[in-house]
Amino acid sequence: MSGRLLIFGIDGGTFNVLEPMWAEGRLPHLARLRSEGASGVLHTVCPPLTAPAWATFQTGLQPGRHGVFDFLAPPRRGYARRLQNASALSAPRLFDTLSAAGRTVGALNVPLTFPPRPVNGFVVPGMLTPTFADKHLYPSSLGAELRALGGYYVDMNPLYFEEGRDEGFVEELYRVAEARKRAALHLWRSHQPDLFAVVFTGVDRLMHFFWDRPELVRDHYAWLDATLGEFLASAEEEGATVFVLSDHGFGPAEAEIDLAEHLRRHGFLTQKAKRGPSPRRFLEAVAKLDLFDLRKRLPRRWRAAARGQVMERLSVFASVDWQRTSIFPGTATQYGVYLNVAGREPEGIVSRADYEKVRDDFIASLDELYPGLTARALRREEVYHGPFLDDAPDVYLPLWEDGVRLREFSDDPAVAPRRRRPGEHRREGIFFARGPRVAAGAAPEQATLADVYPTATYLMGEALPTGLDGRLLTEIVAPEALAKAPPTYRDYDVGGAGYADGEDADVRARLEGMGYLG
């Protein structure tokens, strides 16, 4: 049995920022990891989106086999799509496999860990968690422990995603980041789990909204590098292995496409003449109420009744005429479209016999979508395989390859996006590894996010789970270590997730504010 493993996650980490900073002599701790260990590009999932990416990190499976393609569930039971959470992941996760092997684990702010599944250790869920509350932690006693450190925050207040709040945005971001740092260092040092995974989200937020203000982005990378240095000091004392990785990369968003308008112009999407209230304005009202803590003062039965109605009120598709709509867009960051298939979608009109023709017609229409577009539309079966294939969008538009993002789809064209987003995701993330069994100077070969699970398991001295999409990155393992301990494999039976879906307007408000749900 090998020692401990620290996984230091940087949401959106990219060599596009790291390389220039290294040239300036900055980021000494990441530079040291690069020189003393293995490093290289870590390719993420399609699309390069947080929810499916961290699901792949946890399961070692691509989305067609773990079932998470977006922040929202597929539109099978209703067009007002529910938020995804950990209940969508029935496959054994890295945390489950190690727990079943008798190892202790800890996770802090890893997306798609709410509601927390019991493990041999602790879980402080990440991005899709409604609020910081004892009932949302495992074990619940962690709440008092973290409050004693000065408090903890799941994410930024969604009000700061509005235009004109630049100064407050940065202050809020560091308030959340400093609390996360305190909690992470405390849990790593005091609980001493064999595996500890922590994810910092600040640079992702900054690069979305301030890509064109590189000093803000670079300052936060420097803050992260200093934070990493504090972890490395204790990791070195114990001979622990360290991974630094991102769920996706980042780059400039040089243009924007209104896919919904394209669908309307070609007759694929029809909207009703009379439209209801704007979901955006509803969410803004929710956020402002939350600022004064008014919702918590409402009777519990009122809050429960409101939750039952909130999905229909928040649907951006409330204005769509489904009887005259054959194709509709996914979310702004999903880069895909769904066909409105009869027998699959609630009010589907496209027959199975016409499915391929409608899909071909849409793909043919893309020639006029954006001049100079090089990204080729992908049918879902070109991207995925597995039991959840039918839940994926029917066609993907990998516009990130051309630095193009989709405009948010709104049922109220008068409502502009909350903020301009000059930065957008890319598929090329970052990966660093250093430890007793890692070869110095090694570079992973076409490494993917799914490879982290089996590689982590092996470097911790455990048998690898069978049936993963990811592989052991043998090229980063020291040859003598690999010869001494060749990988072994084992079937793990830790059971499925099996708990109820969660839903909360606060989470929607945060995601909406970041432009993820348009």
Exposed / middle / buried, residue 453 (Cβ in 10 Å: 0-12, 13-18, 19+): buried
Q: What is the C-alpha end-to-end distance of the chain, expressed in Å?
A: 47
Number of helices followed by number of strands (H, E) in the chain: 17, 18
pLDDT in tens, 437-484: 999 999 999 999 999 999 999 999 999 999 999 999 999 999 999 999
Residue 307 pLDDT > 60, yes or no? no
| Residue 104, both tokens | 């202790």
Do residues 241 and 433 touch, judged by C-beta distance below 8 A? yes
Pick the closest to residue 327 from 384, 405, 270, 258 (CA basis): 270
3-class secondary structure, 339: strand
Using the predicted structure, report yes or no on whether residue 300 has a pLDDT greater than 50. Answer: no
DSSP codes joined into one string, 183-245 = HHHHHHHHT--SEEEEEE-HHHHHHHHHTT-HHHHHHHHHHHHHHHHHHHHHHHHHT-EEEEE
The DSSP secondary structure of 57-109, one letter per residue, reads HHHS--HHHH---SSB--TTS-SSPPBP-GGG--SPPHHHHHHHTT--EEEES
Report the pLDDT value the prediction gives residue 500, as an integer from 0 to 100. 44
Which backbone phi and psi does 426 adopt, to 5 degrees? -130, 165
User: CA 374 to CA 372: how far, in whole Å?
Assistant: 6
> Which pLDDT score, from 0 to 100, does residue 497 have?
42
Q: Are the CB atoms for 197 and 7 separated by under 8 Å? A: yes
Asked if 70 and 46 touch (Cβ cutoff 8 Å), the reply is: no
Mean pLDDT estimate for the chain:
89
74 with 389: CB under 8 angstroms?
A: no
Using pLDDT thresholds of 50, 70 and 90, give the confidence band for residue 158. Answer: confident
Per-residue exposure over 289-327, b if at least 16 CB sit within 10 Å of its own CB, e if not: ebeeeeeeeeeeeeeeeeeeebbeebbbbbbbebeebbb
Query: Is residue 189 pLDDT above 90, yes or no?
Result: yes
**∠ at Cα 281 (280, 287), nearest 5°?**
90
| Token representation of residue 123 | 């879980």
pLDDT at 337 over 90: yes
Give the mean pLDDT of 190-204.
97
In this predicted structure, the answer to whether residue 20 has a pLDDT above a threshold of 70 is yes
Each residue's pLDDT tens digit, 393-433: 999 999 999 899 888 886 655 555 567 889 999 999 999 99
> How many Cβ atoms are within 10 Å of 282's Cβ, its own excluded?
18
pTM, rounded to two decimals: 0.92
Domain 5-249+423-506 has CATH 2.30.30.60: no
Domain boundary assignment for the chain: 5-249+423-506, 255-275+319-420
Beta bridge partners of 197: 7, 107
Q: What is the mean pLDDT of residues 51-60?
A: 97
pLDDT for position 302: 47
Give the whole-number percent of the chain exceeding pLDDT 90.
71
- The lowest-confidence range among 79-88, 317-326, 506-515 is 506-515
Give the C-alpha separation, 307 to 299, whole Å: 13
Q: What is the pLDDT of residue 415?
A: 56
How far apart CA 444 and CA 34 sit, in angstroms, is 12
Confidence (pLDDT) at 165 = 86
Q: What pLDDT does 411 receive?
A: 60
| Residue 53 pLDDT exceeds 90 | yes
Q: Is the pLDDT of residue 301 over 50?
A: no
Q: With the C-alpha atoms ordered 211, 216, 219, 225, is the resulting torsion angle positive or negative?
A: negative
The C-alpha atoms of residue 142 and residue 148 are separated, in whole angstroms, by: 10
Q: Which residue has the higher pLDDT, 293 or 349?
A: 349
Query: So what's the pLDDT on residue 319?
Result: 86
